[in-house]
């Protein structure tokens, strides 16, 4: 986030029009040399994979940081790295019916297809580039499988699922479903920067804005608390980019593909490898990244911390253990998905 100091505003009438003209230049060309850079708080290496059902071989990306206020409002992150599946003549692989309450699931398909069905009547196929944003709220039962078409043909499969906490006041909201197709997700050109923070005209990658906003472009997802979720690609090795990020938000950088160096004010780079995570300090208004490989792909996420108690057990995330027990009872009594 860029903040212009009042001391830099020139009030002389002859110069003011020039200042106004400069302020209207393209929002994609930005200097962050005067904005403090965030530094890395902790790097989480890639976690060992495990199977969720028989269709999703995932890295538990947040590892032991999952369900902590340190990541709020994000809770959990499963990433299924690219994997080849043979054609399947039997039942599609995946996870059968299971309940959720108190949070949202966000599923992003990169390769392959995921078929979703739930207890409130939603049914959809999430194709490459698509995002499914499901608000469990007061309770929903859903299932997730490889689509019938993908199962028959086989192929490479890659996806991820994020869990995002709901504020206490919204935990019992009515279940809701946002199908966000690839063509509805805006793409912003990513400009290169120097180590001094001066941006160039050269386009070095792109940012797909799923939620929140990037350089004034808003993502299509509707959220219950302020959230940023960007799918970024840097094309060339050795490219430096600056990404303005709200300074009061938690910030998490996941390296989906490639390697990066995160550069702080001190200039000391911190290397993050494939499937690794950089948890950023909540100090500074910009992230400076240098790609260490070509075609580096990142998921950059974060949000305003909820600062509320987290009680999590299995498929339920509430604020107290009494509420967790109530969720179990309500599910057993058939009160979900209504």
Confidence at residue 200, expressed as pLDDT on a 0 to 100 scale:
64
Whether 59 has a binding-site annotation, put simply, is no
Mean pLDDT across the chain, nearest whole number?
A: 88
Nearest alpha carbon to residue 235 among 288, 284, 291, 274: 291
Least confident residue range of 25-34, 120-129, 273-282, 313-322: 25-34
**Distance in angstroms (rounded) separating the CA atoms of residues 100 and 139:** 6
Nearest alpha carbon to residue 239 among 315, 314, 298, 292: 292
Whether 176 has a binding-site annotation, put simply, is no
Whether 100 has a binding-site annotation, put simply, is yes
Whether 144 has a binding-site annotation, put simply, is yes
Confidence at residue 4, expressed as pLDDT on a 0 to 100 scale:
35
| Structure tokens that stand for 38 in this block | 């965030």
**Distance in angstroms (rounded) separating the CA atoms of residues 272 and 335:** 44
Confidence at residue 199, expressed as pLDDT on a 0 to 100 scale:
63
**Distance in angstroms (rounded) separating the CA atoms of residues 199 and 112:** 36
Q: Is the pLDDT of residue 237 over 50?
A: yes
The tens digit of pLDDT for each residue in 160-184 reads 999 999 999 999 999 999 999 999 9
How many angstroms separate the Cα of 294 from the Cα of each of 213, 236, 238?
25, 4, 8
Confidence at residue 2, expressed as pLDDT on a 0 to 100 scale:
35
Q: Is the pLDDT of residue 309 over 50?
A: yes
Q: Is the pLDDT of residue 338 over 80?
A: no
Q: Is the pLDDT of residue 239 over 60?
A: yes
The tens digit of pLDDT for each residue in 199-223 reads 667 899 999 999 999 999 999 999 9
Taking residues 244-253, what's their average pLDDT?
96
Confidence of residue 266 (pLDDT cuts 50, 70, 90): confident
Confidence at residue 245, expressed as pLDDT on a 0 to 100 scale:
96
**Distance in angstroms (rounded) separating the CA atoms of residues 3 and 80:** 39
């Amino acid at each position: 986030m860029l903040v212009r100091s009042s001391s830099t505003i020139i009030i002389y009438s002859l110069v003011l029009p020039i200042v106004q003209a400069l302020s209207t230049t393209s929002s994609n060309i930005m200097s962050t040399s005067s904005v403090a850079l965030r530094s890395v708080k902790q790097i989480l290496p890639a976690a060992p994979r495990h199977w969720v059902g028989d269709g999703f071989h995932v890295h538990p990306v947040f590892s032991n940081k999952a369900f902590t206020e340190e990541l709020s409002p994000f809770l959990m992150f499963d990433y299924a790295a690219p994997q080849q599946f043979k054609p399947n003549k039997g039942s599609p692989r995946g996870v059968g019916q299971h309940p959720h309450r108190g949070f949202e699931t966000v599923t992003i398909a990169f390769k392959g297809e995921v078929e979703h069905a739930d207890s409130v009547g939603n049914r959809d196929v999430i194709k490459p580039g698509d995002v499914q944003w499901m608000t469990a709220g007061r309770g929903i039962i859903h299932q997730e499988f490889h689509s019938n078409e993908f199962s028959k043909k086989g192929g490479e499969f890659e996806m991820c699922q994020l869990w995002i906490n709901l504020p206490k006041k919204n935990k019992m909201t009515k279940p809701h479903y946002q199908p966000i197709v690839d063509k509805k997700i805006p793409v912003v050109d990513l400009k290169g920067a120097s180590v001094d923070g001066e941006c160039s005209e050269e386009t070095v990658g792109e940012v797909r804005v799923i939620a929140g906003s990037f350089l004034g472009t808003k993502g299509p997802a509707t959220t219950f608390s302020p959230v940023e979720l960007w799918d970024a690609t840097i094309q060339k090795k050795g490219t430096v980019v600056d990404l303005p990020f709200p300074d009061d938000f938690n910030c998490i950088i996941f390296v989906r593909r490639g390697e990066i160096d995160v550069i702080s004010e001190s200039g000391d780079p911190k290397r993050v490898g494939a499937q690794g995570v950089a948890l950023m300090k909540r100090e500074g208004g910009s992230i400076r990244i240098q790609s260490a490989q070509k075609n580096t792909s990142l998921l950059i996420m974060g949000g305003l911390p909820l600062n509320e108690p987290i009680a999590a057990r299995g498929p339920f995330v509430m604020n107290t253990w009494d509420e967790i027990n109530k969720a179990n009872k309500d599910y057993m009594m058939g009160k979900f998905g209504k």
